[in-house]
Amino acid sequence: VIVFQMTSINGSIGYIIQNDPKPIVDCNYTFEEAISGTEIPKSIINQITLIEVEYYSFDNLLHKGQVLINKKVVKDIKNIFEFIKSSHFPVAKVIPVVKYNWSDQASMIDNNTSSFNYRKVKGYKVLSPHSYGLAIDINPLQNPHIKGKTIQPVNAKYDVKALGTIIRDSKLVSEFRNMGWQWGGLWRSSKDYQHFEKKN
């Protein structure tokens, strides 16, 4: 809600109350559409749900997107996006990875924030926490995964002064960690600045 103070000619003060501006809709999937196009075990599908979130993008306008997330952490992610919205931390877009034919690379290159993606950890045979909707990647272009000289996505740059960048002292990191989430920016062998996950 936005409140405007108005002063009339005779000096009396009044207030005009307006609802938040209507958000730009970045996606509008049904749950069935959001999980289509890939083979996902029924046992995992039963753990996942689709929620709507609002955020200010880099155009300074309010947007609405969607997150496929584990039902266990719905409250956490809603709290995070309430913080993101109220603090005007810019998020480029939030769209289920089905839009990118389940390509994590394509989603990252487009600077898309996402959670659920049924896939293995890169270079390993184990399932990623994204496969259970227990991880979320935020603004990959500003917050890449850096391991040695390899940067993912390839078009990313980590600049601590850039808008939408997550650093150790970010309030966003504190918000996640206070709810029991781990941040990839604190890993030792590599730095995955976009990545937050919650252990089962």
Which residues sit opposite 70 in a β-bridge?
48
CB 53 within 8 A of CB 83: no
pLDDT tens for each residue of 62-81 = 999 999 999 999 999 999 99
* Reported pTM: 0.88
3-state class (DSSP) for residue 150:
strand
| Burial annotation 154-188 (CB, 10 A radius, 16+ → b, else e) | eebebeeeeebbbeeebebbebbeeeebbbbbeee
21 pLDDT band (50/70/90 cuts)? confident
pLDDT attached to residue 8: 46
pLDDT band at 20; cut points 50, 70, 90: low
- Residue 34 in this model has a pLDDT that exceeds 70: yes
Give the tokens for residue 122.
């890169």
